[in-house]
């Protein structure tokens, strides 16, 4: 799962590089198709040829090539993850103990002032104590994950 997220981040980075090149060279912005469809990429290639310097054209061509390679790996990895998820057996009680520990540790990281949900953690800690704050934060993490996965449904692992 971590590899999938790393590859998604890398994919997003290349898309952002394309947008930056277009912006810095004063080229036309991509429409809603962006670079995720064949039509969008064809339009991007046309914009590159018509409106970008040779260096900009090389940057866009390289970015498109990287996106295509990343998408092959993302699609393969997504299929493997979905297959693994469908074939997974019910959670072993020993694994449930490990999952609880991981969630508690994740909740405990909110004690850092740089954590996104530090304010909530600090409020609960001040009202009750640090252990309860970590548990409360762990429950929030589970709720957020459930809501996100429910909202995505079958698209939970879909490429953007």
Summarised one tens digit per residue, pLDDT across range 101-110 is 888 888 888 8
- Tokens for 143, please give them: 């709720």
Spatial contact of 40 and 33, defined as CB atoms under 8 Å apart: yes
98-149 pLDDT per residue, tens: 888 888 888 888 888 888 888 888 898 899 998 888 888 888 888 888 878 7
Q: Which residue has the higher pLDDT, 24 or 90?
A: 24
Q: How far apart are CA 32 and CA 43, in angstroms?
A: 11
pLDDT of residue 34: 80
- Tokens for 88, please give them: 């997974």
Question: What's the sign of the alpha-carbon dihedral 88, 92, 98, 103?
Answer: positive
- Tokens for 35, please give them: 């670079």
Q: What is the pTM of this model?
A: 0.56
């Amino acid at each position: 799962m971590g590899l999938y997220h790393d590859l998604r981040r890398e994919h997003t980075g290349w898309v952002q590089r394309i947008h930056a090149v277009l912006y810095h060279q004063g080229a036309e912005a991509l429409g809603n198709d962006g670079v995720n469809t064949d039509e969008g990429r064809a339009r991007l290639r046309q914009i590159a040829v018509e409106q970008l310097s040779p260096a900009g054209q090389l940057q866009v061509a390289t970015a498109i090539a990287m996106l295509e390679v990343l998408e092959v790996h993302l699609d393969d990895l997504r299929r493997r993850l979905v297959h693994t998820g469908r074939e997974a057996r019910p959670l072993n009680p020993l694994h449930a103990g490990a999952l609880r520990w991981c969630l508690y540790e994740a909740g405990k990281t909110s004690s850092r002032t740089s954590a996104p949900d530090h304010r909530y953690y600090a409020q609960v800690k001040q009202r009750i104590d640090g252990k309860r704050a970590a548990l409360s934060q762990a429950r929030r993490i589970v709720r957020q994950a459930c809501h996100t996965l429910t909202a995505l449904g079958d698209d939970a692992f879909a490429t953007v």
